[in-house]
Amino acid sequence: DQQVKQNSPSLSVQEGRISILNCDYTNSMFDYFLWYKKYPAEGPTFLISISSIKDKNEDGRFTVFLNKSAKHLSLHIVPSQPGDSAVYFCTSSGTYKYIFGTGTRLKVLA
Amino acid sequence: ETGVTQSPTHLIKTRGQQVTLRCSSQSGHNTVSWYQQALGQGPQFIFQYYREEENGRGNFPPRFSGLQFPNYSSELNVNALELDDSALYLCASSRDIAEQFFGPGTRLTVL
């Protein structure tokens, strides 16, 4: 039972354009979400988070939007850069564990 | 400040063997979580240790066990290895239940 779903396994975007990565979740009790980025041969690194009391959180080129009624969140990267090419995981933070989606591989083309 | 480190980086074992993976948590962190990431999947939570006690467990059989030491480093032990145990094993440390910092992982191959 996949409680956090990332339905797009891959995404290609031109450098300078916007990248939009989507995520759906099933449990309405989830109240804190994080995005992690993972490069090959490295562990996931924290990118940005959002609490359910907010519908938007921004950090530089990265913005996360949360739509609680739709149980959907999205990560916007603008402008996209080649160094952003990585696998992005949408994650829900539970009491003691993280629940990860399956990841979206973003490729930013120069 | 030293980040989370894991050893070994790669490991090859045969079915039925036992394996021990090690993790050193980031300085000041008292909580360690272990995850299994199979190819093409997101990391799956195995268990968490907080101040040397198991604090929560995912849907993994008892042959997956762990330890946390007084210095908050941790071990993951897997007995009776199966082919499906082949995966990247990630350790993450945190201060209490705050943001988790991940190590680079140990790639385990079971033949």
Which residues of chain A does B48 touch, with a Cβ-Cβ cutoff of 8 Å? 96-97
Query: Is residue B84 over pLDDT 70?
Result: yes
**Is the Cβ of A40 closer than 8 Å to some Cβ of chain B?**
no
pLDDT digits (tens, 9 = 90+) for B16-58: 999 999 999 998 899 999 999 998 899 999 999 998 999 889 9
Bridge-based pairing of strands A10-14 and A104-109 is parallel
pLDDT at A1: 62
Position A96 pLDDT exceeds 70: no
Residues of chain B in contact with residue A98, where contact means CB-CB under 8 angstroms, are 33, 35, 43, 45, 92, 100
Q: Is the dihedral of CA A42, A63, A24, B61 positive or negative?
A: positive
Mean pLDDT across B101-105 = 94
pLDDT > 90 in chain B, percent: 78
Q: Are strands B64-68 and B74-78 parallel, antiparallel or unpaired?
A: antiparallel
Q: Which percentage of chain B shows pLDDT scores above 70?
A: 97
